[in-house]
Amino acid sequence: MAATAEEITSRIAKAPFEFKSATHLLRIEAERSSTLGELLRDLNTCPDASIFQHTFRTLQEHHFIKEGFSNDFAHWAYTECGAVGLGERLAAIDVREFTAIADLRARLETVVEDYLQLNPQSRDHLAEHPFYFCSAESVVTPTEIKATNMAEFVQGLRAVSIHSIHYHFIEARLRRHLETNDFSIWLKRDLGMNEAAVRLNKIDIYTATLEGVRRQIARILEGAVS
Amino acid sequence: MTEERGASSSQSTPDQETRASTMAPDSVQAPATRPRERRAPRISETPPPPAPPPALQDYAPIIGKSQLNELYFLATAVRGKTVKMVNSTAVGGGVAEMLNRLVPLLSELEVHTKWDVITGGNDFFEVTKSFHNALHGGDYMLTQAARDVFLRHNELNRERMSFDEDIVVIHDPQPAGLIASKKDHRAHWVWRCHIDLSNPNPQVWEFLQPFIAQYDAAIFSSQAFARRLPIPQYLFYPCIDPLSEKNKDLEESYVQQVCDNFGVDRSRPIVTQISRFDRLKDPLGVIQAYKMAKKYVDFQLVLAGGGASDDPEGVAVLKEVREVIDDDPDVIILDLPPWSALEINALQRASTLVVQKSLREGFGLTVTEALWKGKPTIGSAVGGIPTQIIDRITGVLVHSVEGCAYQIRYLLTHPEFAQQLGRNGREHVKENFLMTTNVRRWLLLFRILFGLTASPSSSLG
């Protein structure tokens, strides 16, 4: 039988949720692509941290945007190469489907390769500006905000920086190698909020700003006990 | 030395306020809604005393407590370490302006930071000025005499200075030769390049490259400026200080007062370009765009900046600008002294749209300033402007006078879209181009140099 709102509100978590964040420094890598053919080559050889930077991390850097392309490769293909179809296909890649950088890299390569097979004339077409590969060097930072029940969790969720939301809600799957996020895992495991945990995972991060995502999470949790 | 100089950093003289006040001839029939007479702008004839630098806590209302705490946390691992910053000038220019704010903030975090300035004769600074222009892609024949001057003065400075700190940061090419002291000290050495190296003169770069290759890391302001080097290269965007006179929040009454003084009518749309009177900023192109757009929408154009007193070309450009506006009362030209930061701030805040129609640009900090003030901004797709303006998301990029004119018309007639651009632009600056973001970058770099961070490539799997 499902727990009542009162039961959920009064539950004390088995272990507190400790809000953390991550901060990053951008390193400029050697790879720079001037054509789509070169992009394919460099996608194959660039460091894992570059794939992370241009897909996951760019969502944090541009957390205030809810329209346009969702990763740097898609944006470059569209704006600098004029490859609209490729831009759309790259933009359709949802980073939340990936729990390992290797798989995400392989998907990116496949999409570019397929496009170039269908559009061989695009392979050596010079882009307006090159794509410069960067990578992120990261430090995980504590926030001193902890939650032992749902009310504290929602309070903490509202207080932490947007970087913390990115760290727990988006980056988490690479750390955990699971198609979920830190919030859902804790809510399910420590507070027994299974349904809310599932609903959180369905939030569309590509059509909302990260502030919007934060609000949606709070709404779902508050809805679960109202 | 840096390519980035704000509108107020050029030299000019106090008598320019008279010129600014005589822009609108009394004979021109002004629309009923705007002041008939432009009053004398009240700008001090001498620079005001510098304001004390802000403390870290002063930034809390801007970046939030959580991000401020992040800085304190990052600093814990490098607390007590010592840093020396070295550049070539104590006053004037973007680098000195930035160091003036950065050094006290790092010291407040107990990363004890000193700032030292190299000395040199006219011969040295003539050579380094030539290097600067050549590294920007200009023609230059590097002679043995120039090499000798560069090396001799670096050697003299090396003998004069001590390098006992944990980290030494050398800014720009002038002091790059100080790296010869690395072998005698335990410090980590970092080269911070503020200039555009995307197309350097090969002779000058080949001369400097062996020095740079000895550093432990290099920092560039854009990915495009990075070179092939055997050392790690990092990206630090130029930044603005949200608490500086040019960017801090202003009382509405002050903004109104400045507009009244300059004869700017706030009841009608205002489109502004802040920049030196320099051909590369294309003020004539902006006026052309104004004339094209004005056929469809009513607005005033404000061109404000300095640099026309010490620069013969600036004088010529200003003269041409005044000729082409042909006594149009809706074009307001303001040639301001270098200490007009508050007035520039007020003009940007009063603007409906901000334009930066440069033909070439370094990073374009005037764009950063406009975006920070939440202003819908139209910028040329040159230099660092596309890094700041993501087209149709944080502003609008243009490639021509016609494009600029169209976007002025469009944004003036679509205020909701324009406001959304402004909101996004401010967030983009908050995330990437504020002084506090750069403090965070420095702390991260220091941690990396001491081996205190993990790359996601090793941890993400």
CA max distance for chain B: 74
Question: Considering only A99-113, A180-194, B20-34, B70-84, which range has the smallest mean pLDDT?
Answer: B20-34
Tell me the mean pLDDT in the region A180-191: 93
Structure-model confidence comparison of residues A64 and A20, the more confident one = A20
| Partners of residue B169 on adjacent β-strands | B85, B190
Nearest-CB residue to A64 (from B74, B223, B427): B427
A179 pLDDT band, cuts 50/70/90, is confident
Q: Is the pLDDT of residue A92 over 60?
A: yes
Give the residue on A whose Cα is nearest the Cα of B393: A65
B122: Cβ contacts below 8 Å, ≥ 6 apart: none
Q: Is the pLDDT of residue B72 over 60?
A: yes
Nearest-CB residue to A28 (from B223, B423, B452): B223
How many angstroms separate the CA atoms of B289 and B134, rounded?
33
B235 vs A64: CB contact, 8 Å cut-off?
Answer: no
Chain A, 192 to 211: residues with Cβ < 8 Å from chain B are: none
Quick one: how far is CA B34 from the chain centroid?
Answer: 33
Nearest-CB residue to A27 (from B67, B234, B452): B234
Q: What local confidence, expressed as pLDDT, does residue B93 receive? A: 73
Tell me the mean pLDDT in the region B434-449: 96
For residue B64, list chain A residues with Cβ-Cβ distance below 8 A: 161
DSSP element (H, E) containing B300: strand B300-305
Q: What local confidence, expressed as pLDDT, does residue B91 receive? A: 79
Closest-CA distance of chain B to residue A197, Å: 23
Q: What local confidence, expressed as pLDDT, does residue B331 receive? A: 97
Give the residue on A whose Cα is nearest the Cα of B228: A30
Chain A, 85 to 104: residues with Cβ < 8 Å from chain B are: 100-101
Q: Is the pLDDT of residue B19 over 60?
A: no
For residue B67, list chain A residues with Cβ-Cβ distance below 8 A: 161, 163
Give chain A's end-to-end CA distance (angstroms, integer): 17
Closest-CA distance of chain B to residue A71, Å: 13
Q: What local confidence, expressed as pLDDT, does residue B309 receive? A: 63
Q: What local confidence, expressed as pLDDT, does residue B333 receive? A: 95
A137 vs B226: CB contact, 8 Å cut-off?
Answer: no
What percentage of chain B reaches a pLDDT higher than 90? 74
Closest-CA distance of chain A to residue B78, Å: 13
CB of A25 within 8 Å of any CB in chain B?
A: yes
B14 pLDDT band, cuts 50/70/90, is very low
Interface of B with A (CB under 8 A): 64, 66-67, 69-70, 73-74, 220, 223-224, 226, 228, 232-235, 386, 390-393, 423-424, 427-428, 431-432, 440-441, 444-445, 447-448, 452-457, 459-461
Q: What local confidence, expressed as pLDDT, does residue B320 receive? A: 94
Closest-CA distance of chain A to residue B47, Å: 37
Instruction: Specify whether the CB–CB gap between B283 and B303 falls below 8 A.
Output: yes
- Tokens matching residue B137: 């892609």
CB of A82 within 8 Å of any CB in chain B?
A: no
Q: What local confidence, expressed as pLDDT, does residue B310 receive? A: 61
Closest-CA distance of chain A to residue B109, Å: 16
Interface test mutation site (partner B, options A18, A21, A25, max chain B beta carbons within 10 A): A25
**The Cα angle at residue B380 between residues B378 and B385, in degrees rounded to 5:** 90
Q: Is the pLDDT of residue B119 over 70?
A: yes
For residue A101, list chain B residues with Cβ-Cβ distance below 8 A: 457, 460-461
Query: CA nearest B24: which of B39, B45, B12, B43?
Result: B39
CB of A174 within 8 Å of any CB in chain B?
A: yes
B423 pLDDT band, cuts 50/70/90, is very high
A173 pLDDT band, cuts 50/70/90, is confident
Closest-CA distance of chain A to residue B382, Å: 11
A226 pLDDT band, cuts 50/70/90, is confident
Closest-CA distance of chain B to residue A164, Å: 9
Give backbone dihedrals phi and psi of B132, rounded to 5 degrees, phi first.
Answer: -55, -50
Q: What local confidence, expressed as pLDDT, does residue B44 receive? A: 65
ipTM: 0.91
A100 vs B461: CB contact, 8 Å cut-off?
Answer: yes
A65 vs B454: CB contact, 8 Å cut-off?
Answer: no
According to DSSP, residue A171 is labeled I
Tell me the mean pLDDT in the region A70-93: 94
Q: What local confidence, expressed as pLDDT, does residue B308 receive? A: 60
Instruction: Specify whether the CB–CB gap between A199 and A84 falls below 8 A.
Output: no
For residue B233, list chain A residues with Cβ-Cβ distance below 8 A: 27-28
Q: What local confidence, expressed as pLDDT, does residue A64 receive? A: 83
Question: Considering only A2-6, A145-149, B385-389, which range has the smallest mean pLDDT?
Answer: A2-6
Tell me the mean pLDDT in the region A37-59: 95
Nearest-CB residue to B447 (from A26, A100, A139): A139
Strands B167-171 and B82-87: parallel
Closest-CA distance of chain A to residue B424, Å: 6
How many A×B Cβ pairs under 8 Å? 115
Q: B39, exposed or middle or buried, with CB in 10 Å at 0-12, 13-18, 19+? A: exposed
Whole-prediction pTM value?
A: 0.87
A225 pLDDT band, cuts 50/70/90, is confident
Closest-CA distance of chain A to residue B233, Å: 5
A138 vs B70: CB contact, 8 Å cut-off?
Answer: no
Question: Considering only B134-138, B159-163, B372-376, B388-392, which range has the smallest mean pLDDT?
Answer: B134-138
Interface test mutation site (partner A, options B66, B372, B448, max chain A beta carbons within 10 A): B66
Nearest-CB residue to A48 (from B70, B452, B460): B460
Q: What local confidence, expressed as pLDDT, does residue B33 receive? A: 45
Q: What local confidence, expressed as pLDDT, does residue B252 receive? A: 97
Q: B7, exposed or middle or buried, with CB in 10 Å at 0-12, 13-18, 19+? A: buried
Q: Is the pLDDT of residue B15 over 50?
A: no
Q: What local confidence, expressed as pLDDT, does residue B97 receive? A: 84
Convert A31-82 into a string of H (helix), E (strand) and C (coil). EEECCHHHHHHHHHHCCHHHHHHHHHHHHHHCCCCCCCCCCHHHHHHHHCCC
Question: Considering only A88-102, B100-114, B408-422, which range has the smallest mean pLDDT?
Answer: A88-102
Instruction: Specify whether the CB–CB gap between B20 and B334 falls below 8 A.
Output: yes
Q: What local confidence, expressed as pLDDT, does residue A69 receive? A: 64
R_g over Cα of chain B: 23
Closest-CA distance of chain A to residue B278, Å: 26
What percentage of chain B reaches a pLDDT higher than 70? 87
Q: Is the pLDDT of residue B255 over 50?
A: yes
For residue B446, list chain A residues with Cβ-Cβ distance below 8 A: none
B424 vs A64: CB contact, 8 Å cut-off?
Answer: yes
For residue A58, list chain B residues with Cβ-Cβ distance below 8 A: none
Tell me the mean pLDDT in the region B382-408: 95
How many angstroms separate the CA atoms of B333 and A164, rounded?
46
How many angstroms separate the CA atoms of B346 and A226, rounded?
48
How many angstroms separate the CA atoms of B171 and B358, rounded?
26
The b/e string for B79-88 (b: 16+ C-beta within 10 A; e otherwise) is eebebbbbbb
Query: CA nearest A88: which of A106, A102, A70, A67?
Result: A70
- Note the pLDDT tens digit of each residue in B294-312: 999 999 999 998 766 666 7
A138 vs B454: CB contact, 8 Å cut-off?
Answer: yes
Instruction: Specify whether the CB–CB gap between B389 and B375 falls below 8 A.
Output: no
B34 pLDDT band, cuts 50/70/90, is very low
Tell me the mean pLDDT in the region B211-231: 96
Strands B377-380 and B396-398: parallel
- Tokens matching residue A168: 């727990």
For chain A, helix, strand, coil in percent to 5 are 55, 15, 30
Q: Is the pLDDT of residue B105 over 50?
A: yes
Instruction: Specify whether the CB–CB gap between B219 and B233 falls below 8 A.
Output: yes
